[in-house]
């Protein structure tokens, strides 16, 4: 990611139904971007979308996000054919104040803000690397959602879900939901009582 990091301050006008979609799409100018983004929006109805590595002029995406129903937008500039972050939101659902700041040491900033990894459900890895000689491919968990203790206490049922990856991106989108974590129930164990066979 570019060395400019976008810091967002969201007022808690946000309801517990507000979901956030974060996606390193590796190119929002791609014709498939709108189609896949619309599918994610229709299915999950996020109030806020963060698109990373747009690789195109952020102002050209304003029309795309308006068509998707997002009337708030802030973006960083791309650096050549790399970088670019766009944050789009629905103003009637969430109030966002955004500012750009340079961050020399992201790990120090995470520690200072007391941010922790929220964990996730879904696929173990969020990034698929290229195929190397011999047909080997690298898989990594590069994309994560972070929160502080106050957020976790405010939204104890919040969760992070890794969504299905689409072909034109090597990253999976991440859905952050403040409520209704889909708990996985273990199948009920069959217990055999030896007294039953007498």
Q: Rounded CA gap, 180 and 185, in Å?
A: 14
4-197: what fold?
Answer: Deoxyribonuclease I; Chain A (3.60.10)
Question: For residues 51 and 62, what is the distance between their CA atoms, to the nearest angstrom?
Answer: 12
The pLDDT value given to residue 96:
74
Separation between Cα atoms, residue 21 and residue 87, nearest integer Å: 10
pLDDT digits (tens, 9 = 90+) for 64-92: 899 999 998 888 777 766 677 888 998 88
pLDDT for res 175: 92
What are the residue ranges spanned by the domains of the chain?
4-197
Give the lowest-confidence range in 7-11, 34-38, 113-117, 179-183.
7-11
The pLDDT assigned to 4 comes to 41
CB 77 within 8 A of CB 60: no
The H or E element spanning position 131 is strand 127-131
Closest CA to 37 of 63, 7, 1: 63
Question: Alpha-carbon distance 172 to 119, whole Å?
Answer: 15
Q: Tell me the per-residue pLDDT of 147-171, one tens digit each, with 9 for 90 and over.
A: 888 888 888 888 999 998 887 788 8
Structure tokens at 137: 């491919």
Q: What mean pLDDT value characterizes the chain?
A: 77
Nearest to 161 by CA among 144, 179, 174: 174
Claim: this prediction has a pTM higher than 0.95: no
Give the pLDDT confidence score for residue 193 in this predicted structure. Answer: 63
Q: What share of the chain is helix, strand, coil (3-state, %, to 5)?
A: 20, 30, 50
The CA–CA distances, whole Å, from 121 to 9, 32, 104, 158, 184 equal 26, 26, 31, 11, 10
Q: What is the pLDDT of residues 1-10, one digit of tens each?
A: 333 444 454 4
pLDDT digits (tens, 9 = 90+) for 122-147: 988 888 877 777 778 878 888 888 88
> What was the pLDDT predicted at 94?
79
Contact 55, 78 (CB under 8 A): yes
């Amino acid at each position: 990611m570019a060395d400019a990091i976008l810091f967002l301050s969201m007022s808690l006008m946000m309801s517990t139904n507000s979901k956030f979609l974060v996606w390193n799409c590796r190119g929002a100018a791609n014709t498939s971007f709108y189609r896949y983004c619309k599918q994610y929006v229709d299915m999950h109805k996020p109030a806020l979308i963060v698109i990373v590595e747009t690789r195109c002029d952020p102002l050209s995406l304003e029309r795309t996000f308006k068509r998707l129903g997002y009337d708030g937008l802030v973006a960083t500039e791309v650096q050549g054919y790399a970088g670019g972050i766009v944050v789009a939101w629905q103003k009637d659902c969430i109030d966002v104040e955004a500012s750009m700041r340079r961050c020399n040491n992201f790990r120090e900033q995470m520690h200072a803000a007391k941010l922790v990894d929220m964990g996730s459900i879904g696929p173990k890895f969020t990034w698929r690397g290229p195929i190397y000689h011999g047909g080997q491919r690298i898989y990594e968990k590069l994309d994560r959602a972070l929160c502080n203790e106050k957020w976790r206490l405010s939204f104890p049922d919040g969760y992070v879900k890794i969504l299905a990856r689409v072909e034109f991106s090597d990253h999976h989108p991440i859905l952050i939901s403040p409520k209704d974590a889909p708990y996985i129930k273990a199948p009920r164990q069959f217990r055999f009582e030896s007294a039953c066979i007498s």
